[in-house]
Amino acid sequence: MKKTSTKLADGRELLYYDLRDDTVRDAVDRRPLDAITTASEIRHDPLLGDAVAIASHRQGRTYHPPADECPLCPSADGRQSEIPDSDYEVVVFENRFPSLAGDSGRCEVVCFTSDHDASFAYLTEERAALVLAAWTDRTAELAAMPQVEQVFCFENRGAEIGVTLAHPHGQIYAYPFTTPRTALMQRSAAAHRARTGRNLFDDVVARERADSVRVVLQGEHWIAFVPYAAHWPYEIHLHPIRRVPDLRALDEAARAELPQIYLELLRRFDRIFGEGRPPTPYVAAWHQAPFRTEGRDEFGLHLELFTVRRTSGKLKYLAGSESGMSVFVNDVPPEAAARRLREVAS
């Protein structure tokens, strides 16, 4: 992999990730952009103890542009986009409309391919491995920033999720704190260790492997299953069988196997409700250990992949119980969801 760093016209960092070491990236962003000004602020809720990012400048972000004005496509025919080059493989750049900035963290955009009409599910294994390398590299780089406590790599796909740019892409949030969901997992892991003397993530994986009714796909180094208490109608958790705290700690064997398994899971998601038209909306979220908190070594890296669609043409809304009390009500038994996800195997 070759990484090339450059600057956009307003000073934001942009990184090209290429498979070939001899790839040359020397295009210059010549847009007349003003310097970025953000109003990102972290406020703490005294009742819940969590943090909220206030980012009023995001109201003006690009919203559902036509394909010929997509800011994530390569620059071409006199039209300048966020990517100065006329083609690319994988690109990461600082978000022009970040939720987190400066001392409040950092937000980056990850473009998986220059093909506007593609999707992650149908990338080649080689390209998916390049995205994994970019996620890993960004985790390492962001971990070195003193204001960053946790790195979250994720993909939102589909208008139902709230995506405003159709081009296949994901994001990376570098938080200046441990997120509430991660802190809750850490507390559960600490309590489990105190009660049993064992690691919670190891025990969860061992239980699913032994039971097997909710296992969707298993390789030599990874296992994917619908969790016993799934929150969403179709939800998969993907764990490395050898527990590690974050993407940086994966060994070469696990890295080599991941693209095949991950692509197969995404393709199955597109087939849950038929032939993949319209594509299944989903969130794919990598959970990594915070960098400087107690209990880091107890945490287990894993991916949570879920869709807000509960059946063809119907969405799972976060209504009163979910939004008001954080108590999910799931209409699809996890065992039935796992069975369906096995049925739509390639």
**Whose CA is closest to 225, among 247, 243, 245, 210?**
210
Annotated binding residue at 111? no
pLDDT of residue 59: 76
Q: Is there a single domain that holds both residue 233 and residue 104?
A: no
pLDDT of residue 56: 84
Q: Is there a single domain that holds both residue 147 and residue 201?
A: no
pLDDT of residue 156: 97
pLDDT digits (tens, 9 = 90+) for 228-266: 999 999 999 999 999 999 999 999 999 999 999 999 999
* Listed residues 152, 175, 198: the one ending a domain: 175
pLDDT at 277 over 70: no
Supply the mean pLDDT for the chain: 95
State how far the alpha carbon of 312 is from the alpha carbons of 162, 165, 174, in Å: 18, 23, 35
* Residue with more model confidence, 11 or 64: 11
* Listed residues 175, 194, 228: the one ending a domain: 175
Choose the weakest-confidence range: 34-38, 113-117, 120-124.
Answer: 34-38
pLDDT of residue 139: 98
Count of structural domains, the chain: 2
Q: Is there a single domain that holds both residue 134 and residue 271?
A: no
Range of the domain at 232: 180-343
Annotated binding residue at 64? no
pLDDT of residue 189: 98
What's the rounded mean pLDDT across residues 275-301? 90
The 10 Å CB-count burial string (b at 16+, else e) for 301-323 is: bbbbbbbbbbeeeeebeeeeeee
pLDDT digits (tens, 9 = 90+) for 163-202: 999 999 999 999 999 999 999 999 999 999 999 999 999 9
Q: Is there a single domain that holds both residue 112 and residue 217?
A: no
What's the rounded mean pLDDT across residues 296-323? 95
pLDDT band for 216, please (50, 70, 90 cuts): very high
Q: Is there a single domain that holds both residue 171 and residue 185?
A: no
Identify the active-site residue in 169, 237, 239, 287. 169
pLDDT of residue 17: 98
Is 44 assigned a catalytic role? no
pLDDT band for 276, please (50, 70, 90 cuts): low
Q: Is there a single domain that holds both residue 24 and residue 83?
A: yes
pLDDT of residue 163: 93
pLDDT at 61 over 80: no
pLDDT of residue 275: 63
Annotated binding residue at 116? yes
What's the rounded mean pLDDT across residues 32-58? 89
* Listed residues 175, 202, 227: the one ending a domain: 175
Q: Is there a single domain that holds both residue 116 and residue 38?
A: yes
pLDDT band for 60, please (50, 70, 90 cuts): confident
What's the rounded mean pLDDT across residues 96-109? 94
Q: Is there a single domain that holds both residue 168 and residue 56?
A: yes
pLDDT band for 108, please (50, 70, 90 cuts): very high
Q: Is there a single domain that holds both residue 7 and residue 38?
A: yes
pLDDT of residue 37: 78
- CATH for 196: 3.30.428.10
Annotated binding residue at 153? no
Choose the weakest-confidence range: 10-14, 63-67, 90-94, 319-323.
Answer: 63-67
Q: Is there a single domain that holds both residue 146 and residue 230?
A: no
Q: Is there a single domain that holds both residue 208 and residue 300?
A: yes
Q: Is there a single domain that holds both residue 203 and residue 320?
A: yes
